[in-house]
Amino acid sequence: MTGPREPPLAVEAVITAGTAMVVVRGELDLTTTPLLCRHLARIRDARSRRLVFEMSGVDFIDCAAARLIASTGRFLPEGRRPVIRRPSPVVRRLLELAGLAAHCEVDNPSG
């Protein structure tokens, strides 16, 4: 018998002082992206000036989820792009291959 399974995706979103921080862990795919969408709707309504995705714990991301994240710049003031902080190798690779890295600021403070 195995222990309880971890959910395939965990999303924590905190909005403070004009910055929305979204910590994403697990797998972003067709079945889990709706959870991220619910958090993003709250962030859109808060009209944050800065949007940061902490994605070091993402094990898998599909193209639709990557496009969703890259498109969140439309929630931000003109000239601002979402920040992808510490992307896992799989996230970085997909953003680059899909041409979406240009729509985000990719920040890797530990690398």
Delimit the domains of the chain by residue range: 9-98+100-107
Structure confidence by residue, pLDDT tens digits, 5-26: 667 999 999 999 899 999 999 9
- Coil/strand/helix, residue 19: strand
Rounded alpha-carbon distances, angstroms, from residue 30 to 8, 33, 62, 67, 90: 12, 6, 8, 12, 17
Q: Which residues pair with 14 in a beta bridge?
A: 21
Percent of the chain topping pLDDT 70: 92
pTM of structure? 0.89
- Coil/strand/helix, residue 58: strand
Rounded alpha-carbon distances, angstroms, from residue 110 to 6, 34, 56, 83, 90: 26, 30, 11, 15, 16
What is the separation of C-alpha 1 from the centre of its chain, rounded to a whole number of angstroms? 34
Give me the chain's average pLDDT, please.
91
Q: What confidence category does residue 104 fall into, taking pLDDT thresholds of 50, 70 and 90?
A: very high
CATH homologous superfamily, domain 9-98+100-107? STAS domain (3.30.750.24)
Mean per-residue pLDDT, 41-45: 90
Q: What confidence category does residue 49 fall into, taking pLDDT thresholds of 50, 70 and 90?
A: very high
